[in-house]
Each structure stands twice: as structure tokens, then as C-alpha cells.
Structure 1
């Protein structure tokens, strides 16, 4: 008797496309790149979960069971139909132990990357996303809508400081822009709040703060991962590119 895996391995073309459509769908379109022909999007649906521009998400970290946390600041489809996301990273306190100084993090507190340098942001395959993450800003900055008590209770993580990757300093004051994006986009949103900015049209989609990386090892729960997702992950691993969804190159430097 043929197994489910055997049956799936025989499905190609239309059948596989239908399964992938159930796994992923693009949402509302944004602009179009003027030099590199890419289509920007404001949202997409991945395994039944809708993601929008400036949402936070867990992403795979190569060779580690712990995920990375980042904010989606660009979502686009390349001319070769490669799904890409640009991510501005958050740091866990354990990522920057040598630079904590007297700062004492609260429970589940992380830091938003800022400044200029390796570890601020990079471009990753959209399939590197694990799941959506609820990050709430508790900064008293006047530009930040203060969170409700319910929002704080539901938060997976909170942040009130940023870590300047160039100066390697923890800062309480936030700059006006981070990675060319108005800082309001990183603060709390309200349901009736419009997007502050669509992605700028870029001439070079490889972010100067970090190369476009592909996870070198993706941990999957074989019992629950969808066949299409496994297939997409395997194709990513097979590219032979060095790197992962994390900013671990910076971590190596910070640990030295």
C-alpha cells in the first residue's frame, strides 16, 4: 500500500500548486520596483495566518533550537518568483551579554536593533518565518501609543530600549528612523491606524547591513510540518549559500 509520502512524491504540477496555494497566498499589493522588477506587498497568508507589513515574527536560526525575532519591513516577490522579506532584528539580552552594562532587563524584554552596521537588518526567504510574534513597546516616547493592560498581558515580548549595532550601546532614546523607516512603524499600532509607509523603491535589494541569507539548517517537526513547507525548506537548504535567518555574524563579534 502506498504511503502518504509516496503519494505526495508523485504529485507534481497542478496538484502541488494547489497544495502550495493552501499553504501560502499573497495579500494586498504595494508598489513595483523601478530598477529591479519586484512586486512589493502589504500582506500575505502563511499556513492560515495573515502577516502584514511591520508585523513581528519568529524566524529560523540556523543550528539552534531558539528562533530569532524580527519586524517585517519589506515584503516582495522577485522576478524569479522568490518570496523575500526584509527584517529589522530584535536582540535578546543573551545575544549582547558583553554590552548590557548596568541595564537590567525585565521578564521577556528584548531590544530593537538601531544604528548602522551588521546585525541591523537583512533579507531572508519568506519561508524562514516560523510564526507571528506579539511584541509590545513600553517606551514612554511621545511617538509611541502607550499599550493597554490587555496588550501587555498578551505580549510575547516587550521592548523599551534599542541597541545601536554600530556604537554597541543600549539606548533609551529612539532615533527618528531605523533602516530608513520612520520609527513610528516600530512602535505600537492601533486598529484604525494606517500603514506609515510602503517600501521605498530600491535599486539594490541586498541590504548593506547584511547579505541576503538562506538558512543552512531548518528544524522541522516532521509530524506536523506540511509536505509543501518541507519541500520549500529542502529547496532552501539545497542552495549551498552560507548563512541563516539570524544575525549570528554579529553575535560572534559581540562574544569576542
Structure 2
């Protein structure tokens, strides 16, 4: 089906334990799918599989009708260039804050002038321009989260995967990032999957909320689901 990432019966074993058990879902363009559930339910493992960052041990994974699991190495690398993944504990380069955005842009083929302009644009977008020449390793956890998201959005991904994207942020910055992500996905027509424990964040972001428990999707909700209904799963 065009415009859809389709997963059918995805399975993953880690350390001999089945952590994802036959999960099926569709992720449409311009819509945000939020995955919720208790710790250890397989949410992050599923998120990584959807971006081919972790190979499934069984099932089907397609994007726009193309079987992603049958891609050759060149095709896989091409798909990964379309994916931006922001983990719960963001990784930063051993470089200053500015270069943490500019270097990945140069590696994607942008000329120096365009990469420079885009890096400054996104630093300003997340209010980190004042830290541009600091080592990225000197940033707080919340500032690293802002930097990682800015770097991901600057890459203009076709698939955006976010693992607890506001977990280290204060309420004001969390609300700002939630609005930014929602607008970005809508305006650019990309695929987006978010793992979150925050019920209000899930209801604000999501077009669909999936509840994952013990490696399976146990429930599906719209954004109008009562908070009390969602809280009972967490």
C-alpha cells in the first residue's frame, strides 16, 4: 500500500527471549503513531525494527509496497539514509554543538554553505545557538535531547523514530518540542513513530496510540481516549 510502513507479525529474540511477539501495524504518512506500555514491553525494540536499525527475526516489513527485509546492502543503506532515530539517551559527537548538526549534513552530501545555514537554522529553532561553540558533551541531559532532535529534523528524514523525546525536558521545552514534532510531521508528510510514557504527550501527538505489553499490541486508541483508560496500562 503506497504511503504506508506496514509491519506484519514482527518477531524479535534478544538473549534467547522473545521480546516482540507477532506485532502488526501500519504507519501512514503525515500521521503520528505513539507506542505506550510498561517498561520491558518491547517498545524500543519494535521502534528500532521499524527503522531497520535492528533486523526482525520473523515477519514482514514494507514501506510503500517495498519489502524492506529483502533489500540488498546498497538498498538497506539507502533506506537508512531516510531514517532519523533519536534514542531516549541521545548520543552526541565528540565535537562542538554546531558541528553535531553540520557534520551529519555534510555526510549526507550538502555543500558547506547549505550545511552551515541549516545547522544555524536548527540551533536557533531549539534555542541552542548560544551553546554553538561548546563541547556537546558539556550539555545537560535536556540540552542533549534538544540537540539530538534538531540534528534529526535537520536531516529531513522520511521516517522519524523518537524514543521518549521529552523525558529530560522541563514542561515548557517539552510542550515546545511536542508542537514542533507535530507540525514537522504534518507539513513534511513523513512517517513518525514515538515511544512515550507520558499520557498527555501521547494524546497531544498521536493520531493512533498503541499499547504494548509483554511484546504484543494489546490495545489501540485514538487521541480522544480518556487518560484513565491509558494510565491503566502503564
**Same fold, TM-score > 0.5, yes or no:** no
TM-score w.r.t. the length of structure 2 is 0.27
Give the number of the structure whose residues are more often helix, by fraction: 2
Structure number with greater Rg is 1
Q: Pick 1 or 2: higher relative contact order, CA cutoff 8 A, min separation 6.
A: 2
Q: What TM-score comes out, normalization by structure 1 length?
A: 0.25
